[in-house]
Amino acid sequence: MSAEPGQKPARGRRGRPKVASDATHREAVTRAAWTCFLERGYGRTTMGDVAAVAHMSLSTIYRFFPSKTGLFSAVVALHRQSMLALPGAYDDLPLDVALGRIFQIDLDDEARRQREALMTMLLVESRQFPELETLLHEQGPQHAQRLLAEWLEHQQRLSRLAVPDAGTAARMLMDVVFGATSLKSTDAPQWPGGDDRPAYLRHCFSMIAEGLKPRDTA
Protein backbone atom coordinates (compact mmCIF):
# COMPACT_ATOMS: atom_id res chain seq x y z
CA MET A 1 0.00 0.00 0.00
CA SER A 2 1.42 3.43 -0.95
CA ALA A 3 2.02 6.10 1.68
CA GLU A 4 -0.49 8.93 2.13
CA PRO A 5 0.61 12.44 1.01
CA GLY A 6 2.83 14.00 3.65
CA GLN A 7 3.65 10.65 5.21
CA LYS A 8 7.06 9.04 5.02
CA PRO A 9 6.99 5.74 3.19
CA ALA A 10 7.22 2.74 5.51
CA ARG A 11 10.70 1.32 5.86
CA GLY A 12 11.20 -1.97 4.11
CA ARG A 13 12.59 -4.98 5.85
CA ARG A 14 16.28 -5.13 6.33
CA GLY A 15 18.14 -7.24 3.84
CA ARG A 16 19.39 -10.68 4.65
CA PRO A 17 22.57 -10.95 6.71
CA LYS A 18 25.69 -10.86 4.62
CA VAL A 19 26.44 -14.30 3.27
CA ALA A 20 29.85 -15.72 4.14
CA SER A 21 32.33 -15.70 1.29
CA ASP A 22 33.22 -18.80 -0.68
CA ALA A 23 36.69 -18.69 0.89
CA THR A 24 35.16 -18.76 4.38
CA HIS A 25 32.88 -21.66 3.46
CA ARG A 26 35.75 -23.52 1.85
CA GLU A 27 37.90 -23.20 4.95
CA ALA A 28 35.00 -24.34 7.14
CA VAL A 29 34.56 -27.44 4.97
CA THR A 30 38.30 -28.13 5.13
CA ARG A 31 38.35 -27.85 8.92
CA ALA A 32 35.33 -30.16 9.13
CA ALA A 33 37.18 -32.68 6.98
CA TRP A 34 40.23 -32.31 9.25
CA THR A 35 38.02 -33.30 12.20
CA CYS A 36 36.45 -36.22 10.34
CA PHE A 37 39.76 -37.57 9.06
CA LEU A 38 41.21 -37.50 12.58
CA GLU A 39 38.19 -39.27 14.08
CA ARG A 40 37.45 -41.80 11.33
CA GLY A 41 40.44 -41.84 9.00
CA TYR A 42 40.31 -40.92 5.33
CA GLY A 43 38.98 -44.27 4.14
CA ARG A 44 36.00 -44.35 6.53
CA THR A 45 35.04 -40.70 6.10
CA THR A 46 32.24 -39.93 3.65
CA MET A 47 31.37 -36.59 2.10
CA GLY A 48 28.12 -36.86 4.06
CA ASP A 49 30.12 -37.02 7.30
CA VAL A 50 31.91 -33.81 6.33
CA ALA A 51 28.61 -32.12 5.44
CA ALA A 52 27.18 -33.04 8.85
CA VAL A 53 30.17 -31.69 10.77
CA ALA A 54 30.29 -28.52 8.64
CA HIS A 55 26.50 -28.02 8.98
CA MET A 56 26.20 -27.64 5.22
CA SER A 57 24.32 -29.45 2.51
CA LEU A 58 26.00 -32.25 0.61
CA SER A 59 25.60 -30.28 -2.62
CA THR A 60 27.54 -27.39 -1.06
CA ILE A 61 30.37 -29.72 -0.10
CA TYR A 62 30.56 -31.06 -3.64
CA ARG A 63 30.48 -27.54 -5.05
CA PHE A 64 33.73 -26.76 -3.28
CA PHE A 65 35.27 -30.22 -3.47
CA PRO A 66 34.01 -32.48 -6.29
CA SER A 67 36.12 -35.36 -4.95
CA LYS A 68 37.33 -36.62 -1.59
CA THR A 69 40.92 -36.55 -2.84
CA GLY A 70 40.53 -32.81 -3.43
CA LEU A 71 39.35 -32.46 0.14
CA PHE A 72 42.35 -34.46 1.36
CA SER A 73 44.63 -32.11 -0.60
CA ALA A 74 43.00 -29.08 1.06
CA VAL A 75 43.48 -30.63 4.52
CA VAL A 76 47.16 -31.22 3.75
CA ALA A 77 47.51 -27.57 2.68
CA LEU A 78 45.83 -26.41 5.89
CA HIS A 79 48.09 -28.71 7.90
CA ARG A 80 51.11 -27.24 6.12
CA GLN A 81 50.16 -23.81 7.46
CA SER A 82 50.23 -25.23 10.99
CA MET A 83 53.76 -26.49 10.31
CA LEU A 84 55.19 -23.51 8.41
CA ALA A 85 53.77 -20.01 8.91
CA LEU A 86 54.54 -18.64 5.47
CA PRO A 87 53.94 -16.23 3.85
CA GLY A 88 54.38 -13.87 6.78
CA ALA A 89 55.91 -10.56 7.91
CA TYR A 90 59.18 -11.33 9.70
CA ASP A 91 61.57 -8.77 8.21
CA ASP A 92 61.87 -6.80 11.47
CA LEU A 93 62.78 -9.83 13.58
CA PRO A 94 66.25 -11.27 14.18
CA LEU A 95 66.80 -14.19 11.82
CA ASP A 96 66.77 -16.87 14.52
CA VAL A 97 63.56 -15.47 16.04
CA ALA A 98 61.97 -15.28 12.60
CA LEU A 99 62.77 -18.95 11.98
CA GLY A 100 61.21 -19.86 15.31
CA ARG A 101 58.02 -18.02 14.36
CA ILE A 102 57.94 -19.56 10.89
CA PHE A 103 58.26 -23.09 12.26
CA GLN A 104 55.91 -22.26 15.16
CA ILE A 105 58.10 -23.86 17.79
CA ASP A 106 56.17 -22.37 20.73
CA LEU A 107 52.76 -23.94 20.12
CA ASP A 108 50.87 -24.89 23.26
CA ASP A 109 50.65 -28.57 24.16
CA GLU A 110 47.14 -29.07 22.78
CA ALA A 111 47.93 -27.45 19.43
CA ARG A 112 51.11 -29.53 19.22
CA ARG A 113 49.19 -32.74 19.93
CA GLN A 114 46.63 -31.93 17.24
CA ARG A 115 49.37 -31.16 14.75
CA GLU A 116 51.17 -34.43 15.45
CA ALA A 117 47.92 -36.44 15.39
CA LEU A 118 47.06 -35.07 11.96
CA MET A 119 50.58 -35.73 10.70
CA THR A 120 50.29 -39.35 11.86
CA MET A 121 46.92 -39.71 10.12
CA LEU A 122 48.27 -38.24 6.88
CA LEU A 123 51.22 -40.63 6.87
CA VAL A 124 49.08 -43.68 7.63
CA GLU A 125 46.37 -42.87 5.09
CA SER A 126 48.81 -42.00 2.31
CA ARG A 127 50.38 -45.44 2.70
CA GLN A 128 47.00 -47.18 2.55
CA PHE A 129 45.81 -45.12 -0.43
CA PRO A 130 48.69 -44.71 -2.92
CA GLU A 131 46.85 -41.96 -4.84
CA LEU A 132 47.20 -39.75 -1.75
CA GLU A 133 50.97 -40.05 -1.48
CA THR A 134 51.67 -37.66 -4.35
CA LEU A 135 49.12 -35.17 -3.01
CA LEU A 136 50.71 -35.32 0.44
CA HIS A 137 54.18 -34.70 -0.96
CA GLU A 138 53.14 -31.90 -3.34
CA GLN A 139 50.91 -29.98 -0.92
CA GLY A 140 53.04 -30.75 2.14
CA PRO A 141 56.86 -30.78 2.23
CA GLN A 142 57.41 -29.88 -1.43
CA HIS A 143 55.24 -26.76 -1.23
CA ALA A 144 56.61 -25.85 2.20
CA GLN A 145 60.18 -26.11 0.96
CA ARG A 146 59.39 -23.84 -1.97
CA LEU A 147 57.82 -21.22 0.32
CA LEU A 148 60.82 -21.37 2.64
CA ALA A 149 63.28 -21.02 -0.25
CA GLU A 150 61.37 -17.95 -1.48
CA TRP A 151 61.54 -16.43 2.00
CA LEU A 152 65.30 -17.07 2.22
CA GLU A 153 65.80 -15.44 -1.19
CA HIS A 154 63.80 -12.43 0.02
CA GLN A 155 65.98 -12.17 3.13
CA GLN A 156 69.07 -12.29 0.94
CA ARG A 157 67.74 -9.40 -1.16
CA LEU A 158 67.40 -7.46 2.09
CA SER A 159 71.06 -8.31 2.88
CA ARG A 160 69.98 -10.08 6.07
CA LEU A 161 71.70 -13.32 5.08
CA ALA A 162 73.92 -14.82 2.41
CA VAL A 163 72.93 -18.17 0.94
CA PRO A 164 74.32 -19.51 -2.36
CA ASP A 165 71.47 -21.98 -2.89
CA ALA A 166 68.14 -21.15 -1.24
CA GLY A 167 66.60 -24.49 -2.22
CA THR A 168 69.33 -26.49 -0.51
CA ALA A 169 69.22 -24.21 2.54
CA ALA A 170 65.44 -24.65 2.77
CA ARG A 171 65.78 -28.44 2.57
CA MET A 172 68.46 -28.36 5.27
CA LEU A 173 66.22 -26.32 7.57
CA MET A 174 63.31 -28.70 7.00
CA ASP A 175 65.56 -31.63 7.94
CA VAL A 176 66.76 -29.84 11.07
CA VAL A 177 63.20 -29.22 12.24
CA PHE A 178 61.39 -32.35 11.08
CA GLY A 179 64.20 -34.89 10.72
CA ALA A 180 65.50 -36.59 7.60
CA THR A 181 62.77 -38.72 6.01
CA SER A 182 65.22 -41.54 5.33
CA LEU A 183 65.50 -42.13 9.08
CA LYS A 184 61.74 -42.47 9.64
CA SER A 185 60.39 -45.99 9.92
CA THR A 186 57.18 -45.61 11.94
CA ASP A 187 53.83 -43.97 11.28
CA ALA A 188 54.19 -41.32 13.98
CA PRO A 189 56.33 -38.27 13.18
CA GLN A 190 59.84 -38.62 14.61
CA TRP A 191 60.87 -35.02 15.12
CA PRO A 192 64.25 -34.24 16.68
CA GLY A 193 64.71 -32.35 19.90
CA GLY A 194 63.62 -34.69 22.66
CA ASP A 195 61.58 -33.51 25.62
CA ASP A 196 62.49 -29.84 25.20
CA ARG A 197 62.11 -29.52 21.46
CA PRO A 198 61.54 -25.70 21.46
CA ALA A 199 64.84 -25.10 23.30
CA TYR A 200 66.64 -27.49 20.95
CA LEU A 201 65.29 -25.69 17.87
CA ARG A 202 66.06 -22.24 19.26
CA HIS A 203 69.66 -23.37 19.74
CA CYS A 204 69.76 -24.77 16.19
CA PHE A 205 68.28 -21.61 14.70
CA SER A 206 70.77 -19.46 16.59
CA MET A 207 73.70 -21.38 15.10
CA ILE A 208 72.15 -21.40 11.61
CA ALA A 209 71.44 -17.67 11.73
CA GLU A 210 75.05 -17.00 12.72
CA GLY A 211 76.28 -19.15 9.85
CA LEU A 212 74.05 -17.40 7.31
CA LYS A 213 75.17 -13.89 8.22
CA PRO A 214 76.67 -11.98 5.27
CA ARG A 215 80.47 -11.91 5.46
CA ASP A 216 82.67 -8.97 4.57
CA THR A 217 84.61 -9.79 1.42
CA ALA A 218 87.21 -7.10 1.98
Distance between CA atoms of residues 136 and 134, nearest Å: 5
Amino acid code (one letter) for 142: Q
Average pLDDT over residues 163-181: 88
Average pLDDT over residues 143-168: 95
Q: Domain 21-66: what homologous superfamily?
A: Homeodomain-like (1.10.10.60)
> How confident is the model at residue 20, as a pLDDT?
65
Eight-state DSSP code of residue 12? P
Q: Confirm if 188 and 120 have CB atoms less than 8 A apart.
A: yes
Distance between CA atoms of residues 180 and 171, nearest Å: 10
What confidence category does residue 11 fall into, taking pLDDT thresholds of 50, 70 and 90? low
pTM of the entire predicted model: 0.77
- To the nearest 10 degrees (0 to 180), the angle between helices 130-137 and 68-83 is 40
Q: Confirm if 53 and 32 have CB atoms less than 8 A apart.
A: yes
Residue 8 scores a pLDDT above 80: no
> How confident is the model at residue 49, as a pLDDT?
98
Distance between CA atoms of residues 51 and 115, nearest Å: 23
State pLDDT tens for residues 59-109.
Answer: 999 999 999 999 999 999 888 888 899 999 999 999 999 999 999 988 888
Residue 1 scores a pLDDT above 50: no
What confidence category does residue 194 fall into, taking pLDDT thresholds of 50, 70 and 90? low
State pLDDT tens for residues 110-151.
Answer: 888 888 888 888 888 888 888 888 888 888 889 999 999 999
The mean pLDDT of the chain is 85
> How confident is the model at residue 196, as a pLDDT?
81
Distance between CA atoms of residues 56 and 64, nearest Å: 11
Eight-state DSSP code of residue 159? T
Distance between CA atoms of residues 150 and 145, nearest Å: 9
Q: Among 209, 205, 211, which Cα is nearest to 193's?
A: 205
Residue 13 scores a pLDDT above 60: no
Distance between CA atoms of residues 23 and 16, nearest Å: 19
Distance between CA atoms of residues 108 and 110, nearest Å: 6
Q: Confirm if 132 and 72 have CB atoms less than 8 A apart.
A: yes
Eight-state DSSP code of residue 15? P
| Neighbour-count burial of 170, counting CB atoms closer than 10 A to its CB (0-12 exposed, 13-18 middle, 19+ buried) | buried
